[in-house]
Amino acid sequence: MLKASRKFKVPDELANLYDFANTLDLRRFTHHGVQHPQSDELSTEAGLAAWLAERKLGSGGKIRPAMFAAALQLRSSVRDYLQCDLGERLKNKTLGRSLNRMTQHFPLAVEVRDGGMTLRPVRDDALAGLSVVIAELYNAGANGTLARLKMCASDECRRIFYDRSKPATRRWCVSTLCGNRMKTRTYRERHQGVV
């Protein structure tokens, strides 16, 4: 588990999925007079290799352009999936097909090890580590914790967050920031014409 996952207390079994989805930072708001800079940790093949190596998910092999494109498409599909609420995730066939198409590039095999079973990557190249992200996605879907990974409802944020609320009904990554901005904006719009 790394800095972002640890900071927001994301369970270890979702940390790689959470961090992978958040390698794209689209936040575009001003906080305390400072504009948040947008960034993409995976803007280059070297950036992807570094991200994988930092998490001990990379084999150190060369990432080719087609592999890099597949990784970015996987991230896009995962973010699109997490953007939807749970009901839509299960019903939206287009969304499901897109994610299915991308996960096929990162196959997994069941392996019996140490008296238990685990999923391991079938790939043995530089992107084998992304199969770990797919395994976390599958496991979270199977045990129900995937419903707690959501995209912030603020159009100025779009960050993936882990919903720790008991009823799992949070809409914003940070209520005091994104939630407050959205509520204040709605209030102002509602009372704009009122004198």
> What pLDDT score was predicted for residue 145?
94
Confidence of residue 107 (pLDDT cuts 50, 70, 90): very high
> What pLDDT score was predicted for residue 9?
87
Using an 8 Å Cβ cutoff, are 132 and 71 in contact? no
CB count in 10 Å sphere of residue 190: 9
Confidence of residue 183 (pLDDT cuts 50, 70, 90): low
Strands 30-31 and 108-113: unpaired
Phi and psi torsions of 126, nearest 5°: -65, -25
CB count in 10 Å sphere of residue 176: 8
> What pLDDT score was predicted for residue 179?
58
22-66 pLDDT, tens digit per residue, is 999 998 766 667 766 888 999 999 999 999 999 999 777 899 999
> What pLDDT score was predicted for residue 29?
67
Least confident of 11-15, 71-75, 89-93, 137-141: 89-93
> What pLDDT score was predicted for residue 69?
97
Q: Which one is predicted more confidently, 60 or 110?
A: 110
Mean of all residue pLDDT scores within the chain:
87
Q: Which one is predicted more confidently, 178 or 44?
A: 44
The neighbouring-strand residues paired with 118 are 111
Residues 48, 114: Cα–Cα separation, whole Å = 31
Cα 165–Cα 151–Cα 18 angle in degrees, nearest 5? 85
Q: Where are the alpha helices (DSSP H) in 23-121?
A: 45-54, 65-83, 86-91, 93-103
Could you say which DSSP state residue 44 is in?
S
Show the tokens assigned to 1. Answer: 């588990």
> What pLDDT score was predicted for residue 185?
63
Using an 8 Å Cβ cutoff, are 83 and 151 in contact? yes
Averaged pLDDT for residues 68-87: 94
Torsion of CA 40, 64, 72, 31, to 10 degrees: 0
Is residue 186 packed enough to be buried (19+ CB in 10 Å), middle (13-18) or exposed (0-12)? exposed
Contacts of 143 (CB under 8 A, 6+ apart): none
Confidence of residue 171 (pLDDT cuts 50, 70, 90): confident
Confidence of residue 97 (pLDDT cuts 50, 70, 90): very high
> What pLDDT score was predicted for residue 31?
64
Query: pTM of the entire structure?
Result: 0.86
